[in-house]
Amino acid sequence: MQYMLMFYQPAAEFEQRAETQALHASWMDYVGAIRASGIVVGGHGLHPPLTATTLRVRGDERQVQDGPFADTKEQLGGYFVIEVPDIDTALEWSARAPCAATGGVEVRPVFTTPM
């Protein structure tokens, strides 16, 4: 089964990302381990939330806003789609993510359609 792991980090971590070698190293270790496991279907890190643009359509009007959709304490920093046997395995990999201790990891089954 495929699961998407969405990594949420406190806003302060986005600002420190380039400055904190330990945080960067922990992410590189995690990324290396999960890729080496062979379960990764795809995934990417994201640029900081302030680079986002949000679009909403209301009636015939497009509303464009600079910044992320939600103003929250934690922002989406990246994701992986993984293929594992069950939710427990997906949760095990989620718990290893560096942001699990400071932010959170949302785990969702991926809806796939047959070809």
Separation between Cα atoms, residue 108 and residue 94, nearest integer Å: 11
pLDDT, mean over the chain:
88
Query: pTM here?
Result: 0.84
- Among residues 73, 55, 72, the alpha carbon closest in space to that of 64 is found at 55
The confidence score (pLDDT) of residue 73 equals: 75
Task: Please tell me the class of the 2-109 domain.
Answer: alpha beta
Predicted local distance difference test score (pLDDT) of residue 82: 98
CA distance 57 to 104: 29
Predicted pLDDT of residue 80:
97
In terms of C-beta distances under 8 Å and separation of at least 24 residues, what long-range contacts does 87-92 make, across chains too? 87/1, 87/3, 90/3, 90/5
pLDDT in tens, 33-45: 999 999 999 999 9
Report the C-alpha gap between 94 and 82 in whole angstroms: 11
User: Average pLDDT in the 79-105 region?
Assistant: 95
CA distances, 57 to each of 18, 25, 60, 62 (Å): 35, 40, 7, 5
| pLDDT tens figures, 10-58 | 877 766 655 678 888 899 999 999 999 999 999 999 888 888 888 889 9
Q: Domain coordinates of the chain in residue numbers?
A: 2-109
32 three-class SS: helix
Q: What is the pLDDT of residue 67?
A: 74
